Amino acid sequence: MPKYHHPSDLAKLVHNSLKVKLNGFLPNQELLQELFEYLYYASMQSEEGELIQVTITYYNPDDTVPDPEEEETFDHWKLTKFKEPIDLNVKNLVKLSKAADPWSTSLAVYYDKLNGFLIYGLIDQAVHNQSFINHEIDTRPEQAGYFQAAILGIGIISVTAEYRLIGVLRHNILVANFVDVWKYGQISLLLKEKAKSFVSNVEQFLSKNFPDEDIEDYEETIHNVWRDTISRILIQIKKYNHGGAILITKNDLGLDIKYSISYLRLRGAMLRFVKTNIAVKIYATSISSSKGSISKSLYEDMRTVEFKQREANNELKGAIRFIASQSCVDGSIVFNNELKTLGFGAVIDKVLPPKEVFLSNKSTFKHLGLITKNPKEFGTRHRSMMTYCSQHPGSIGIVISQDGEIRVMSQFEDKLIMWDNVKTQKYFRVAATI
């Protein structure tokens, strides 16, 4: 019989993870349970017909924080207090969620021994934290408070601290292990194989513009852009709360694509983003290592390529959102092996999945550690993807459930291997098993 988890289990996990580091500042396990129950039950509510999404930051309002203007760190977060603290309860959480979009704001919450949990105010500049964990910037901003807890959907609560994802309570399942299939294991190797044409293209770029540079020094940069781009598309799809599917395959054989297109811009934007990033690094290294006078033309080249870098970043962001929106049509978004979009709304006429699918809880699967699953345990969207991937080795299938859970699958050694609890956001020291 499966074990069902509750906010009390999330409280135990968080307490065990943070009690040493936050000794004296962390509420006890019972209080953490109370805090997470407020969030859990608030997630079941709606306000003005919309689901609740909000982030709270556990923050001591008596802590002194440098004034952003005085320190000239103008994008640093700042707490704006309410005239009087507000009781933390389900009703107030739901009401304040409309004024606290997680991409801009978090609610500052702290425990008072006399009055219980109170909401002290609003913390701004959350957009920088969100941009970082969603792969839109590389600079790691400072986070406020001791930890953050967020409502991600109905019955879905996540807890993070210092960009480390501690755990997610998803309905009645507590997830503490997140697999990074994009960076480690067989899926990562398969992506590197598909990225070979990108490597070749960038090598030609280096040969023409920077002949002294070696492509091997920049292959990881290329692979990181692949990983981040796929993750960013998945993150955008999750925001629609519709679910969806992505298929990366050699061609569209065996697919009925309702809306066929030929969209090359994502691939082009990725290449331009890689090349401008590499050029910026090379120019910056030349300037910093120069012992004599630096030519005016070198500075001008640097400024020009930095401008192009910003343009490429904006282009890539637009292409990612363009593609992600297509997931709201039933069926799969289809890419070829070079990430050219072939269409969306793709379906498989005959759903004939293999008799068994093998679940791996590690990025690098080993046969002894696989868990056998019957495809009948999964819905039509999963079984369709299982059918295609089992019949077309080398294809990568990604299924996003309506509640945001992500599963990745591909055929290896005559076995259809599937991973769930897949990491997409940029969290450090994630409790992943590799």
d(CA 107, CA 59): 9
**pLDDT tier at 402, thresholds 50, 70, 90:** confident
- Strands 156-161 and 341-347 turn out to be unpaired
- Domain of residue 65 covers 7-175
Q: Is the pLDDT of residue 51 over 80?
A: yes
Query: Does residue 180 fall inside a structural domain?
Result: no
Using a pLDDT cut of 70, give the percent of the chain over it.
95
Q: Which residue has the tokens 């331009």?
A: 272
Residue ending a domain, among 115, 142, 175, is 175
Average pLDDT on 262-280 reads 96
Q: Is the pLDDT of residue 299 over 90?
A: no
Same domain flag for 157 and 206: no
Query: Does residue 380 fall inside a structural domain?
Result: yes
**pLDDT tier at 291, thresholds 50, 70, 90:** low
Query: Does residue 321 fall inside a structural domain?
Result: no
Residue 388 structure tokens:
């295609």
Q: What is the pLDDT of residue 46?
A: 86
Same domain flag for 43 and 141: yes
Q: Is the pLDDT of residue 432 over 70?
A: no
Amino acid identity of 360? S
DSSP string, 189-218: HHHHHHTHHHHHHHHHHHHHH-TTS-GGGT
Which ranges of 86-218 does DSSP label H, i.e. alpha helix?
A: 90-97, 126-133, 185-194, 196-209
Same domain flag for 114 and 250: no
Average pLDDT on 295-314 reads 89
Q: Is the pLDDT of residue 429 over 60?
A: no
Q: What is the pLDDT of residue 75?
A: 83
d(CA 220, CA 217): 7
Q: Is the pLDDT of residue 293 over 70?
A: no
Same domain flag for 202 and 150: no
Q: Is the pLDDT of residue 1 over 70?
A: no
Q: What is the pLDDT of residue 408?
A: 98
Residue 150's nearest CA partner among 158, 138, 140 is: 158
CATH code, domain carrying 247: 3.40.1700.10
d(CA 220, CA 50): 41
Same domain flag for 100 and 243: no
Same domain flag for 228 and 348: yes
Same domain flag for 91 and 35: yes
| pTM of the predicted structure, to 2 decimals | 0.90
Q: What is the pLDDT of residue 295?
A: 73
Strand, helix or coil for residue 418: strand
Residue ending a domain, among 175, 210, 235, is 175
Do residues 135 and 234 lie in contact, with contact meaning Cβ atoms separated by under 8 Å? no
The upper half-sphere exposure of residue 61, i.e. CA atoms within 13 Å in the direction of its Cβ, equals 20
Average pLDDT on 186-205 reads 96
Strand, helix or coil for residue 12: helix
Cα angle at 297 between 294 and 298, to 5 degrees? 55
Same domain flag for 38 and 131: yes
Query: Does residue 319 fall inside a structural domain?
Result: no
Average pLDDT on 261-274 reads 97
**pLDDT tier at 434, thresholds 50, 70, 90:** very low
Count of structural domains within the chain: 2
Q: Is the pLDDT of residue 72 over 70?
A: no
Nearest 5°: phi and psi at 308? -65, -35
Same domain flag for 143 and 255: no
Query: Does residue 283 fall inside a structural domain?
Result: no
Q: What is the pLDDT of residue 68?
A: 64
Query: Does residue 274 fall inside a structural domain?
Result: no
CATH code, domain carrying 105: 3.40.1700
Same domain flag for 59 and 114: yes
Do residues 68 and 79 lie in contact, with contact meaning Cβ atoms separated by under 8 Å? no
Same domain flag for 352 and 395: yes
Q: What is the pLDDT of residue 155?
A: 94
Same domain flag for 339 and 379: yes
Residue ending a domain, among 175, 202, 221, is 175
177 Cβ contact partners less than 8 Å away, ≥ 6 residues apart: 361, 421, 431, 432, 433
d(CA 379, CA 279): 46
Query: Does residue 395 fall inside a structural domain?
Result: yes
Query: Does residue 332 fall inside a structural domain?
Result: yes
